[in-house]
Structure 1
């Protein structure tokens, strides 16, 4: 599957070049169309400070001018993504390796018939080289929290993660949409996933919605001017082939399936100011994990 990730990477950026070349023949300028961000931490969930304990993603979106709010051809709407994550074992048992990870990547969002496609790749830096273990240790010391267990951290390395998603949008009412999806990932983690999200309310219906890697929560990459409250309910199931974060050479056994169940609320009182909170249940990721966990997600947005 590592070779598949390399093939996907080459095909992906060949497609980007072809798509962008076609777009530039008619549309030479690009414009910024929005920024998306999401902060996840189990402090806002079950509060146990373990496993998928914390992550942050920032996405900058650009599109070929003129952008009319609709997805078009491959490479014409681009997401440039920065992400960090800390995966921690329980302090008592050291049941999985400590992982500090920083990644950067590019993803294109486009229409293909009735489907909305997301296709892209990220380069991951893993290990003490990221400095995230020192950051977490200093943070815990400053707030008199228990010291994190970092002695079994994954060694310094780089990896690639390719991902692709196909999503369909079915309008149930003018303010309610059902969005089933399928996803495939190859590289640092190899899996296929299927699920759906239900969005109820006006806020976010016309935005470019991006999927968080850890929770699957949909966060807004663009911001429409609708005001009010919207609710999101979703879930998915993944079949897992392999995970770099659970090396079998060290005796870790990844669970063959993963499930996620999530709910969230978007509140936009006025255009340019919005708030999101969500909670996600994550099932066991490895055989020694004795239960699932709940992770909370937050986003505050102020555009003036």
Structure 2
């Protein structure tokens, strides 16, 4: 795969698509998801915390993705803290700290019954982001240990990252849905992934769902039917990791395979919704002795 060429082609197509649909487009929805291991196994390590915010724009939303590439654009803003097992006193044998900030554009479309998305994110990492300082301040607010990762961070860099996903939903009984999907990514981490999402309840009906890159959980980008009630979300996937700039450190050996298993509850009210999910993330490098559990929260209310 010629990755620089893929980057250029993706960036050009998204830019042209955005320009083509700029006239007459308007805001169709916002979505967000917050992840923190304090909400999971509460051990403050590795995939420690992240926040993603999505803004969806297009001409209209008819309850399904448009067929035309670029007719619906998601602008994605994200930050993530990937840490050592002990940020106050990091071990040389542990992974390097990754403070990431990213901005990107993704187009969501479908061909027949197959739902697809294609996007490009610019991921800024290293001391230039000052994410470590932000985490240190947050730890001070919550009386946690200080963040002392000077000399233990990945180098400052910018990684253009292309992501493509394709999936198809099938009805499962009267209230369920199963959606197998495949995903490929090239950039900060280059990988191929296959997995499945299963939903019982009204969550996602007539809505546009967006996938979180850390956990794989789906969150709402454009609201759908808003059927009140409780929904159960289950899912899992496995990935083959060809390369990771986050683990490109002498003495650190990445694992070629990763797995994620997730579950969540979504409560839809008449004027809002609450979601909590938990995701098991398998080990990412040889020196990581065990996996971890990350908790996720999302909330939206209309007044």
Q: Is the 8 A contact 1:87 1:99 kept in 2?
A: yes
Query: What SS does structure 1 have at the residue aligned with 2:9?
Result: helix
2:73 corresponds to 1:78: yes
Q: Which runs of 5+ in 2 are unaligned?
A: none
Q: Is the 8 A contact 1:9 1:162 kept in 2?
A: yes
Query: What SS does structure 2 have at the residue aligned with 1:179?
Result: strand
Q: Is the 8 A contact 2:209 2:220 kept in 1?
A: yes
What do residues 134-191 of structure 1 show as CA deviations (whole Å, max 9, x unaligned)? 1111222233211234130112111111100001111123421101000000011010
Structure 1 residue aligned with 2:215: 215
Structure 1 residue aligned with 2:105: 106
Distance 1:275 1:100 in 2: 28
Alignment CA distance shift 1:144-1:199 (3 Å): same
Distance 1:255 1:233 in 2: 25
Query: What SS does structure 1 have at the residue aligned with 2:133?
Result: helix
Distance 1:297 1:179 in 2: 21
TM normalised by structure 2 equals: 0.93
Q: Aligned residue pairs: how many?
A: 296
After superposition, the CA RMSD in angstroms is: 1.7
Mean Cα deviation higher: 290-299 or 109-118: 109-118
Q: 4+ residue runs of structure 1 moved beyond 4 angstroms?
A: 17-24
1:55 to 44, 50, 54: 50
Task: Give the C-alpha shift of residue 69 in structure 1.
Answer: 2.3
Structure 2 residue aligned with 1:198: 198
What do residues 283-303 of structure 1 show as CA deviations (whole Å, max 9, x unaligned)? 000010000000000011122
Structure 2 residue aligned with 1:14: 12
Alignment CA distance shift 1:48-1:18 (3 Å): same
Q: Which runs of 5+ in 1 are unaligned?
A: none
Query: What SS does structure 1 have at the residue aligned with 2:276?
Result: strand
Alignment CA distance shift 1:88-1:71 (3 Å): same
Task: Give the C-alpha shift of residue 17 in structure 1.
Answer: 5.0
What do residues 42-61 of structure 1 show as CA deviations (whole Å, max 9, x unaligned)? 00000110000000000000
Structure 1 residue aligned with 2:235: 234
Query: What SS does structure 1 have at the residue aligned with 2:177?
Result: strand
Q: Is the 8 A contact 2:14 2:105 kept in 1?
A: no
Q: Is the 8 A contact 1:175 1:205 kept in 2?
A: no
2:183 corresponds to 1:187: no
Task: Give the C-alpha shift of residue 114 in structure 1.
Answer: 2.1
Query: What SS does structure 2 have at the residue aligned with 1:254?
Result: coil
Query: What SS does structure 2 have at the residue aligned with 1:245?
Result: helix
Distance 1:48 1:182 in 2: 31
Query: What SS does structure 2 have at the residue aligned with 1:47?
Result: coil
Structure 2 residue aligned with 1:40: 35
Structure 2 residue aligned with 1:170: 170
Task: Give the C-alpha shift of residue 18 in structure 1.
Answer: 5.3
Query: What SS does structure 1 have at the residue aligned with 2:128?
Result: helix
What do residues 88-134 of structure 1 show as CA deviations (whole Å, max 9, x unaligned)? 00126351101101000000000022210010010011111111111
2:65 corresponds to 1:67: no
Distance 1:149 1:50 in 2: 14
Q: Is the 8 A contact 1:98 1:149 kept in 2?
A: no
Distance 1:85 1:18 in 2: 29
Alignment CA distance shift 1:81-1:258 (3 Å): same
Task: Give the C-alpha shift of residue 83 in structure 1.
Answer: 0.2
2:85 to 90, 104, 107: 90
Distance 2:45 2:19 in 1: 46
Alignment CA distance shift 1:135-1:17 (3 Å): closer
Q: Is the 8 A contact 2:38 2:295 kept in 1?
A: yes
